[in-house]
Amino acid sequence: MTFASLGLIEPLLRALETLGYQTPTPVQAQAIPAVLAGRDLMAAAQTGTGKTAGFALPLLQLLTMEGPKVAANSARALILCPTRELAEQVHTSVAEYAQHLPLTTYAVYGGVSINPQMMKLRKGVDILVATPGRLIDLFRQNALKLNQLQTLVLDEADRMLDLGFSEELANIYRMLPKKRQTLLFSATFSDDIRLLAGQMLNDPLSIEVSPRNVAANTVKQWVVPVDKKRKPELFVHLMRKGRWKQVLVFAKTRNGVDALVDKLQGLGINADGIHGDKPQATRQRALDRFKASEVQILVATDVAARGLDIEDLPLVVNFDLPIVAEDYIHRIGRTGRAGNTGEAISLVCADEVNMLSAIEMLTRQTLTRKMEPDFEPEHRVPDTDASGQVVKKPKKPKKPKTSGGGGKRNLGKWVDSGDAAPTEPSIKPVRKVPVFNTGPRKKK
Ligand code: AMP
């Protein structure tokens, strides 16, 4: 199959040729014809599948072929993203695909001054990429009208809900014209996402390019059990032993990121960190330097790392397991992209056994454990498997017990306790999706 056979116009084909895209990925092969035909879409596509081009290419084509010129302070298509980094990245891709088209594109997000964004919107833009909060601010300040909107894309919708954007989404929903095309992309499909899709989409076509909630199989994954206090030492040991060149490392908290970066820099290792406390410009600089291989180790929290697309990233290390099991899929999706193979190593201590179990259940696999000589943990990590079973180490009974314990546990999402509580404030608890009471959408 070729991009031309999907019915894409010549200026798009030329851009794809420049980018070296030869064959459509499965999500592109399914999404492109459906979007061109005007359908709403509900796509279960994890990161690295080529989903951005899957929605952006047909969207650009429709905007080129149909509809009036963009009016002042208006947008014809809106792509909503959960984070600034993803918004920037999606915008870069859209601009690349649109390089031979007479369309304007722009990205708006919080954490930077709103005035230049308001100025830029004066003439209107064909495609606006936005994070929800800043979009609402611009709308309320009359810098943006949405009555000309033809298409709405919700990118990484699961993540938007995880980050607590459900109220913002409900507000945005009320600002939108009823007649529009809506495309929803999500790595995972929780009940809340299905509810949101039921409210936002009109007779959507469902696309699922990999089994639901199963991590990319191009990524070789394993776990190294270790005592919590020895994780930094193990990381440095594995790094030297494996001669790691470019590694993206995930830590659970902002403090965890800073502590690891300090430790590595203290050892003369070229490391930098990104998390929500750092200004956007600093985060972008660290990311750019990592991409340019000027920084060897980039340590990040889940929020800050969202949407990072680094070509051929060979290795992701989970210094801590994520607080939400779905984040494991997002994290390892940073490697093994677009058909390349990658590795994901998780350093797991006994405290994290419930998280490990939930990840194995979600990804429907038992992760291979590799004990590292001299780092065998004193606090054993209990056995786990994809059924969600945590096999507690049998204890020698000191006195007869009156109540039972252990056994089979049903672990889906968990709430971590004690020091594992998230300190990344942008991770808000998942809120319920508000019920939109604007009535059913009119048929197109
Ligand atoms: P995404 O899942 O949209 O984040 O895309 C993951 C990566 O795959 C990006 O670096 C894209 O540039 C790349 N990509 C997307 N589609 C193709 C394709 N058809 N051929 C080669 N690379 C692609």
The CATH code of the domain that includes 362 is 3.40.50.300
Q: How far apart are CA 328 and CA 270, in angstroms?
A: 25
21 CA: nearest ligand 1 atom: 20
Closest CA to ligand 1's atom 16: 50
Verify whether ligand 1 is closer than 6 Å to residue 53 (CB atom).
Answer: yes
Claim to verify: residue 371 and residue 299 sit in the same structural domain: yes
Closest CA to ligand 1's atom 11: 50
Q: How far apart are CA 406 and CA 412, in angstroms?
A: 17
- For residue 239, the one-letter residue type is M
209 CA to middle of ligand 1, Å?
A: 14
Verify whether ligand 1 is closer than 6 Å to residue 426 (CB atom).
Answer: no
Please return the burial class of 265, using the count of CB atoms within 10 Å of its CB with bins 0-12, 13-18 and 19+: middle
Q: Is the dihedral of CA 27, 33, 35, 40 positive or negative?
A: negative
Claim to verify: residue 270 and residue 350 sit in the same structural domain: yes
Claim to verify: residue 49 and residue 194 sit in the same structural domain: yes
Instruction: Please list, in sequence order, all residues whose beta carbon lies within 8 angstroms of the beta carbon of residue 197, skipping any fewer than 6 positions away.
Output: 42, 157, 184, 204
Which range of residues forms the domain containing residue 382?
A: 219-391
In this prediction, residue 218 carries a pLDDT of 74
- For residue 90, the one-letter residue type is V
| Residue 417 lies inside a defined structural domain of this protein | no
Residue finishing a domain among 208, 238, 264: 208
Beta bridge partners of 368: 222
Verify whether ligand 1 is closer than 6 Å to residue 210 (CB atom).
Answer: no
311 CA: nearest ligand 1 atom: 10
DSSP 339: G
Closest CA to ligand 1's atom 9: 50
Residue finishing a domain among 369, 391, 413: 391
Residue 384, classed as helix, strand or coil, is: strand
Claim to verify: residue 199 and residue 260 sit in the same structural domain: no
361 closest CA partner among 337, 320, 329 = 329
In this prediction, residue 440 carries a pLDDT of 40
Q: How far apart are CA 24 and CA 410, in angstroms?
A: 39
| Residue 444 lies inside a defined structural domain of this protein | no
Residue finishing a domain among 185, 208, 231: 208
| Residue 439 lies inside a defined structural domain of this protein | no
Claim to verify: residue 233 and residue 361 sit in the same structural domain: yes
Q: How many domains does the chain have?
A: 2
Claim to verify: residue 78 and residue 163 sit in the same structural domain: yes
Q: Where are the beta strands (DSSP E) in 105-256?
A: 105-108, 125-130, 151-154, 181-186, 205-208, 219-225, 247-250
Q: What tokens appear for 269 in the block?
A: 């290792």
- For residue 149, the one-letter residue type is L
| Residue 397 lies inside a defined structural domain of this protein | no
Residue 346, classed as helix, strand or coil, is: strand
The one-digit pLDDT tens for each residue of the chain (444 residues) are 899 999 999 999 999 999 999 889 889 999 999 999 999 999 988 777 789 999 999 999 999 998 789 999 999 999 999 999 899 999 999 999 999 999 999 999 999 999 999 999 999 999 999 999 999 999 999 999 999 999 999 999 988 998 889 999 999 999 999 999 999 999 878 888 888 999 999 999 998 775 434 455 678 899 999 999 999 999 999 999 999 989 999 999 999 999 999 999 999 999 999 987 888 788 888 988 998 889 999 999 987 666 566 666 889 999 999 988 878 887 887 777 666 678 999 999 999 999 999 888 878 788 999 999 999 999 999 988 877 667 655 455 554 444 333 333 333 332 222 223 333 333 333 333 443 433 344 443
Claim to verify: residue 288 and residue 358 sit in the same structural domain: yes
In this prediction, residue 418 carries a pLDDT of 27
| Residue 426 lies inside a defined structural domain of this protein | no
Tell me the CB-side half-sphere exposure of residue 138, using CA atoms within 13 A. Answer: 32
Claim to verify: residue 166 and residue 239 sit in the same structural domain: no
| Residue 33 lies inside a defined structural domain of this protein | yes
153 CA to middle of ligand 1, Å?
A: 18
Claim to verify: residue 127 and residue 239 sit in the same structural domain: no
Q: Strands 383-384 and 390-391, how do they pair?
A: antiparallel
| Residue 273 lies inside a defined structural domain of this protein | yes
Number of Cβ within 10 Å of residue 148's Cβ equals 18
139 CA to middle of ligand 1, Å?
A: 32
> Terminal CA-to-CA distance of the chain, rounded, Å?
31
Q: How far apart are CA 170 and CA 352, in angstroms?
A: 35
Claim to verify: residue 69 and residue 110 sit in the same structural domain: yes
Verify whether ligand 1 is closer than 6 Å to residue 309 (CB atom).
Answer: yes
DSSP 338: G
| Residue 431 lies inside a defined structural domain of this protein | no
Claim to verify: residue 108 and residue 162 sit in the same structural domain: yes
339 CA to middle of ligand 1, Å?
A: 9
376 CA to middle of ligand 1, Å?
A: 39
Claim to verify: residue 54 and residue 76 sit in the same structural domain: yes
Place of tokens 């607080």: 323
- Ligand 1 pocket test: which of 12, 13, 21 has the largest number of ligand atoms within 8 Å of its C-beta? 21
Q: What tokens appear for 354 in the block?
A: 């419930």
